[in-house]
């Protein structure tokens, strides 16, 4: 039994914003894979829901004439993992969302919900927002994604690195919805990447630590021109490992420089101990996953170490 006060069906993105303004303590529901569990557990008992599930204009992946990729926030994980645009230009994202839950979850869960997990702080439950273990988050960070919010004043573009605010929080206001995720051609062109999720089980499990990396090489494939690497569960929010990036960029490709970059990544993280894993184990994982993801990214770029 789900204890719900009322549910309202948004007829358009603008109507969803109007409903959020009218019902300030309401909760957005899309796929419902997280929200319904929280209602059942009592965390959101008696809440008012605003459903955006029928807003097809928020679904799908497109690419414009300048190469910018736009991912609708209601696009399911299954859609993204099989979309030809994503598979051609950002296959790392397809790999990342394939690690989420099982087939049923991937069929209904949305990428917008994954990075927002937005319960609008209902009854003080701010932990419903922006969880650090979201599987799509490190890859979106590594590709410098920009988020398109819609609120009463219109659209607002927010780099994903500014989307996460404090433990479990996001920059999304209570009267805003996430419309789309935008990735520029500059962020993915000539990039080769890899995503690794470490969890107790291979499916239906939350990451103990996850890592996504991508590299851009020089024309002669001897130098790493650019590295992007990001983690989930290595901090209170998904984060980029800027120290690792600076260590390796512009350097000749060697196994030693990859090891140095993986070590440098530890300067950027501060994982916590939880019932899933000790802090020390997560630190060990962070170094190892960085090394493996960079090495695999280089392999996909045609460089074997």
% residues pLDDT > 70 (the chain): 95
Cβ atoms of residues 237 and 227 within 8 Å: no
Cβ atoms of residues 139 and 212 within 8 Å: yes
Alpha helical stretches, state H, the chain? 13-22, 35-41, 77-82, 84-89, 91-97, 103-108, 111-116, 137-142, 160-163, 185-188, 242-248, 255-264, 279-300
Cβ atoms of residues 172 and 199 within 8 Å: no
Strands 47-51 and 4-9: parallel
* Tokens coding 57: 């204009």
98-107, 114-123, 284-293: segment of lowest average pLDDT: 114-123
Q: What pLDDT is recorded for position 204? A: 80
Alpha carbons 283 and 121: distance in angstroms, whole number = 30
Instruction: Tell me the sheet residues that pair with 156.
Output: 149
Q: In the structure, what pLDDT confidence band is assigned to residue 59 with cuts at 50, 70 and 90?
A: very high
Alpha carbons 271 and 23: distance in angstroms, whole number = 36
Query: Are 215 and 286 contained in the same domain?
Result: yes
Query: Are 222 and 167 contained in the same domain?
Result: no
Cβ atoms of residues 234 and 301 within 8 Å: no
Q: What pLDDT is recorded for position 68? A: 98
Residue 305 lies in a domain: no
Question: What are the distances in angstroms from CA 126 to CA 120, 170, 276?
Answer: 7, 9, 21
Residue 255 lies in a domain: yes
pLDDT tens digits for 168-202?
789 999 899 999 999 999 999 999 999 999 998 87
Res 135 pLDDT > 90: yes
Cβ atoms of residues 290 and 211 within 8 Å: yes
User: Which of 145, 161, 184 delimits the end of a domain?
Assistant: 184
Residue 121 lies in a domain: yes
Res 3 pLDDT > 90: no
DSSP reduced 3-state for 190: coil
Instruction: Please tell me what DSSP assigns to residue 76.
Output: B
* Tokens coding 25: 């303590």
Residue 115 lies in a domain: yes
- Find the domain containing 23 and state its range: 4-51
Res 212 pLDDT > 80: yes
Indicate the pTM of the whole model. Answer: 0.93
Cβ atoms of residues 295 and 261 within 8 Å: no
Query: Are 171 and 89 contained in the same domain?
Result: yes
Q: What pLDDT is recorded for position 124? A: 36
Alpha carbons 195 and 77: distance in angstroms, whole number = 15
CATH number of the domain residue 80 falls in: 3.30.465.10
Cβ atoms of residues 50 and 10 within 8 Å: yes
* Tokens coding 67: 């190469």
Query: Are 76 and 177 contained in the same domain?
Result: yes
Q: What pLDDT is recorded for position 115? A: 93
Number of structural domains in the chain? 3
Q: What's the mean pLDDT in 122-148?
A: 77
Say which residues have a Cβ less than 8 Å from residue 105's Cβ, sequence separation at least 6: 33, 77, 204
Q: What's the mean pLDDT in 111-132?
A: 62
Q: What pLDDT is recorded for position 261? A: 97
User: Which of 184, 200, 218 delimits the end of a domain?
Assistant: 184
Query: Are 117 and 11 contained in the same domain?
Result: no
Query: Are 173 and 197 contained in the same domain?
Result: no
Q: What pLDDT is recorded for position 1? A: 64
Phi-psi region of 221 (alpha: psi -120 to 50; beta: other; left: phi over 0): left
CATH number of the domain residue 37 falls in: 3.30.43
Res 120 pLDDT > 60: no
Q: In the structure, what pLDDT confidence band is assigned to residue 127 with cuts at 50, 70 and 90?
A: very low
Alpha carbons 14 and 25: distance in angstroms, whole number = 18
Cβ atoms of residues 240 and 268 within 8 Å: yes
pLDDT tens digits for 93-111?
999 999 999 999 999 999 9
Q: What pLDDT is recorded for position 130? A: 61
């Amino acid at each position: 039994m789900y204890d719900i006060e009322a549910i309202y069906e948004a007829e358009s993105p603008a109507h969803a914003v109007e409903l959020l303004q009218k019902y300030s303590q309401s909760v957005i529901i899309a796929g419902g894979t997280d929200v319904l569990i929280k209602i059942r557990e009592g965390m959101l008992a008696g809440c008012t829901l605003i459903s955006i599930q029928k807003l097809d204009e928020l679904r799908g992946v497109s690419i414009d004439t300048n190469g910018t990729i736009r991912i609708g926030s209601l696009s399911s994980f299954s859609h993204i993992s099989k979309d030809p645009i994503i598979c051609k230009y950002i296959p790392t994202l397809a790999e990342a969302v394939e690690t989420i839950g099982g087939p049923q979850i991937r069929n209904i869960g949305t990428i917008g919900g994954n990075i927002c997990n937005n319960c609008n702080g209902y009854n003080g439950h701010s932990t419903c927002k922006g969880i650090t273990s979201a599987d799509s988050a490190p890859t979106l960070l590594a590709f410098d994604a920009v988020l398109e919010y819609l609120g009463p004043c219109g659209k607002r573009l927010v780099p994903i690195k500014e989307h996460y605010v404090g433990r479990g929080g996001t920059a999304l206001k209570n009267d805003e919805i996430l419309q789309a995720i935008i990735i520029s051609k500059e962020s993915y062109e000539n990039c080769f990447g890899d995503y690794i999720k470490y969890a107790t089980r291979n499916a239906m499990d939350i990451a103990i630590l996850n890592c996504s990396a991508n590299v851009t090489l020089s024309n002669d494939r001897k130098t790493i021109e650019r590295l992007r690497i990001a983690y989930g569960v290595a901090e209170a929010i998904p984060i980029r490992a800027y120290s690792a990036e600076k260590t390796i960029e512009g350097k000749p490709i060697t196994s030693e420089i990859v090891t140095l970059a993986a070590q440098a990544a530890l300067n950027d993280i501060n994982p916590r101990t939880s019932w899933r894993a000790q802090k020390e184990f997560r630190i060990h994982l962070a170094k190892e996953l960085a090394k493996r993801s960079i090495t695999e990214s280089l392999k996909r770029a045609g460089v074997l170490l």
